[in-house]
Every structure is written in structure tokens, then in C-alpha cells.
A and B are shown apart, each in its own frame.
Chain A
């Protein structure tokens, strides 16, 4: 009898704990999701409706897509978008080639001084971007590459960390495979692309995703290197929109632009959810 009571009490306590846990997690989920909800909601309100709400409403019965039309016509959002796309694709593609060759050299080839060079590479990982960006700004300006894609892309096409990540992965491929390929007369380059690359595809995908996120959100370097609107990326574009876009306080149109900018990465994330999260826990840092 008493035993049953104790068990019941334990069960009830377990139930309370569970409820509290869910409650707490839901509160944080609400804090995370609310800004997203608010930006979508505000982007669907008409300009006059939004400005007449002294007390903001949590819903709208008259959604309008006018703000999205404004976002693409009143400001060059489409161009910011294309620029970002070009920048992201070009940077990621060039970087993948550069790190692929470097990682291959470190993992598979033997040459004098290899360990020294690799140690120097690793030492570079500790250098914060803030320290080198000043000179890079001067260099790119001196080369006359301000307001060009080349100037935007060049400084960010190598990453020591990704070389390191890929090299570690390459080294897990057994040596015998390489020797067998050599006996068959396969060239290094062919071996790299036909054997190593397919085996290390997951790592390449991880690196690609992380780099795409980084490029899509990059703000500081593009801001320094472009002052011509024709070369603005979305981050600079949104800042420009905030400061001089749409005239006085057209917040719904601003929110429409924010939605358009946010959607691609969120979609990418929802598709590759597992890969993105695994990749970030292996090699991501932000904050």
C-alpha cells in the first residue's frame, strides 16, 4: 500500500518535471521564432495599416504582397541578391579548388619541409581577421580592385582550417589505395579526383555548406571594399535600405526585404539540416 503511494508520488514528480522542461524549452523556442514571425507578419501588412497601428497587432486579415513588389522595384534588391549569389558561388568554388590541392599535397605527397610548412599553416589559424583586414583593405585599394568582384573574393578564398579538416580526412584513406593506383599508372591528379574526392565527399559538402553560410552573411569586408551600390551584397544592401531606402519609415517594405534575404539560407538549412548541424559542430564558430 505504502509502496504504491511512493511510486505514485514519484510518477507525479516525474510528470511535473517533464511539463516544466517542455514549458522552458517552448519559451526559448518562442523567443527564437518570434522575430521571424514578426518580420513575416509586418511584411504582409500594408504601409498604411502598419503605420496606423499605435498598438501593433499580432495578426493581419488583409495580407498584401505590395511590399515585396516594392522591395524589388524601389530598391535594387534583385541586384544585391545576384551579387551575393555570384560572390558566394565564386568564393566557394575557388576556395574548394585551392584547399583541395593544398590538402592533397599535405596528405599524400612527400616533399622536404612539409611538416614545417604545415606547422606554419596551423599557426596562421590563430590570426584574427581584424588584424589583417587593415592591410588587405589598403592592398586591394592600391590594386584598384575596389568595387569589383575580384576584390571582394580574393582575400577569402583560402582557409587554413578547412585545409586541415580535409587533410585529416584524406589521411584516413589507406596508403595501399594510392600505391595500387600508382602501379596502375594513374596520375596524381586523376587519383585525387577519381578516388580521394568521392571518398571525402561528406567533408567537402560540410565545408561547402559552412562556406556558403559565411559568404551569404559576410558584412565587414564587402562594406570596406564596396561603396558603389552596383556591387553591394545583401548585408550591405539591407543596411543601405535601412539608412536611405524606401523613404521615411516604410517598415513593411523593409521587412519584406529582410524576409527575402533570410529565406534562401533557411531553406538550405531545412533541406540539409543534419549535414549543417554536423558540420557546424565539427568546424563552425560564430559567437
Chain B
């Protein structure tokens, strides 16, 4: 028996070692960093402990800009992407022919490198001296003025950012909702049909309650994912997101850690913990709401 215990731990050893070094220890360490004031990464010294890092981060205009950008992104993209995904899934569910083809096409963004395809979006939206770009061409056709979506006004940049984010997150949502819709028991629909229930009523009284757990799952993961937005923004606006005014909270963390403005792990830690607190709070609120409204 003794021998067997020893063996079991041996099987677990690699996993425990890796998780210990790269997850458990960092978790403690990030807290320590965030309270060490004036930490110098070159000499590894600091001159005090306290809340200064948090106060610095919360007063940093770049951080506030990042928080604003992230919140706008979350508030726009989560409902929009979930709503459109629901419409598409309902559409997919109601057709027979070409369904596989549509599903395959809709899934494509999931398997693409977001950095690479972001570049294509940048080119579609960018206005250069040589060309106004394709999107501006369409706007001109409809009688609008050209706008530079990449280096132009704030709302235009925000629009591209939201549009690209929705494009990227859609496949996952469509996939989850399509399988949720397909798993609703057909008997309910047959019963509704016999009773002559209208389509809208069938949707609100049968379909929606039956798939509500999945919708809430998507809203929660959507919130979490959107709060961590970063690489999509890099793809569109380049690595210097502060200069573009389009930084996100995660982007702020990495900028503090590394790069031209980097070398401040303490500020990065404080910002990361603030982000974690925000995401945690919103997830808890979501769970509380879902407990009231979701039909299990």
C-alpha cells in the first residue's frame, strides 16, 4: 500500500510541479508585488508596503482610458453578439438544406489567427493617401463621407474594435446555441402546434426558457472574454495602444510589465488584481440574476 501511494504521487508530480511553479506561486506573488511600493525590477528592492500602487493605477489617465474602452467594448459586444448569434442559430435550426455548409462557414473565424485576420480588417477600414479603403468606398456609395476608422475619431475606432470583436466571438456562440436549440425536446413544439400556439409565443414560452441556461453561460463567458480583450486591439491598432487611445485593461497590464513603458511589475499586478475584482464582481452579479431568471 505504501508503495502504491508513492506511485500515485509520482504520476501527479509533473502536473503539481508545473501548476505550483506557474500558477500557485504566481498567485501569491502577484499579491505581494501589488503591495510593494517603488519596486525596482533591476535591483529587486522596494521601499515600503501599502496601497500606493493601487492609487497610482487608479489615478493614471491611461488606465482610466483603458477602463472606459473596455467597458464600452463589453457593454456593446456582449449583447450584440449574443443577440445576433441567437438569430443566426434560430435561422440555422429552421433550415435543412445547406445547413452544414453555413455552419462550417460561420465557424471559420474560430480557427483563424486573430492577429493575422485583424490586419485584413485594418486594411478594409483604413484610410490612406493612396486609397480610402473598401469600407469607405461602400460608405461613399451610400452618399456618406469617408472616415478614417483606424487613426480617426474615437467613435470610428471604437466601431471597428467592436465589429471585429463580434466577428471573432461569434463562432463559439453560434455553435453553443445551435446545439442547445437542437437538444430541445420536439414534443413541446408538437404540443404547441396542436394547440395552435403562435410562433412568437412558442419562442418566448418554450424555446427561450429551454435554452436560457446556455444563453446565460454565453453571457457570463462573453463578459469574461470581453473584459480580457487585448490581442484583437493590437491587431487593429498596433502595439502602441496608449498612443492610439484604444488600450484595454489587459493591454495596460502588459504595457506596464514590458515594452517601452514597461518595467513596473507592481503597477501591472495592481491593475491585474483590479481587473480580476471587476470580472469577479460582474460574474457574481450575473450568477445571481441567472438564478432568478433561468429555467433549469
Contacts and interface: CB of A to CB of B under 8 A. Distances in A.
Interface of A: 17-18, 21-22, 24-25, 28-29, 31-33, 35-36, 38-39, 42, 51, 53-56, 97-99, 101-102, 104-106, 109-112, 114, 117, 121, 124, 127-128, 130-139, 154-155, 157-158, 160, 163, 188, 213, 216-217, 219-220, 223-224, 234-235, 238-239, 242-243, 249, 251, 254-255, 257-258, 261-262, 265-266, 268-270, 273, 276-277, 280-281, 284-287
A257 B117 CA distance: 11
A287 B165 contact: yes
A139 B95 contact: no
A259 B9 CA distance: 46
Given A18-B95, A55-B137, A157-B18, A273 B30 contact: no
Given A234-B116, A238-B119, A124 B23 contact: yes
Nearest 8 CB-CB pairings of A with B? A287-B169, A135-B26, A132-B26, A102-B15, A105-B11, A111-B8, A109-B8, A135-B29
B172 A102 contact: no
Contacts of A110: 4, 8
B91 A109 contact: no
A251 B123 contact: yes
Nearest to B280: A126
13 contacts: A32-B105, A32-B106, A38-B124, A102-B11, A155-B18, A188-B7, A216-B113, A235-B113, A238-B116, A239-B115, A261-B113, A285-B221, A286-B172
Contacts of A132: 22-23, 26-27, 30
Contacts of B87: 24
B117 A262 contact: yes
A239 to B, nearest CB: 6
Contacts of B107: 269, 276-277
A234 B113 contact: yes
Nearest to B85: A28
B261 interface: no
A65 to B, nearest CB: 19
Given A130-B272, A238-B116, A213 B23 contact: no
B62 interface: no
A130 B250 contact: yes
B200 interface: no
Given A134-B268, A234-B113, A287 B226 contact: yes
Contact of B272 (A22, A28, A104, A134): A134
Nearest to A105: B11
A283 B293 CA distance: 25
Interface string B11-24: 11011101101111
Contacts of B117: 35-36, 39, 258, 262
A213 B111 contact: yes
Contacts of A18: 94-95
Nearest to A53: B131
B3 to A, nearest CB: 11
B238 interface: yes
Interface stretch (B52-60, B153-161, B185-193, B228-236): B228-236
A287 B221 CA distance: 7
Nearest to B266: A134
Contact of B239 (A98, A101, A243, A254): A243
B167 interface: yes
B110 interface: yes
B184 interface: no
B272 A131 contact: yes
Q: Which of A28, A163, A217, A258 has the most CB of B within 10 A?
A: A28
Nearest to B133: A56
Given A111-B4, A286-B225, A265 B130 contact: no
A268 B111 contact: yes
Interface string B203-224: 0000000000000000001101
Contact of B276 (A128, A158, A251): A128
Interface string B134-158: 1001000000000000000000000
A258 B120 contact: yes
A136 B26 contact: yes
Nearest to A20: B91
B66 interface: no
B225 A287 contact: yes
Nearest to A284: B172
A21 B91 contact: yes
Contact of B88 (A25, A106, A137, A268): A25
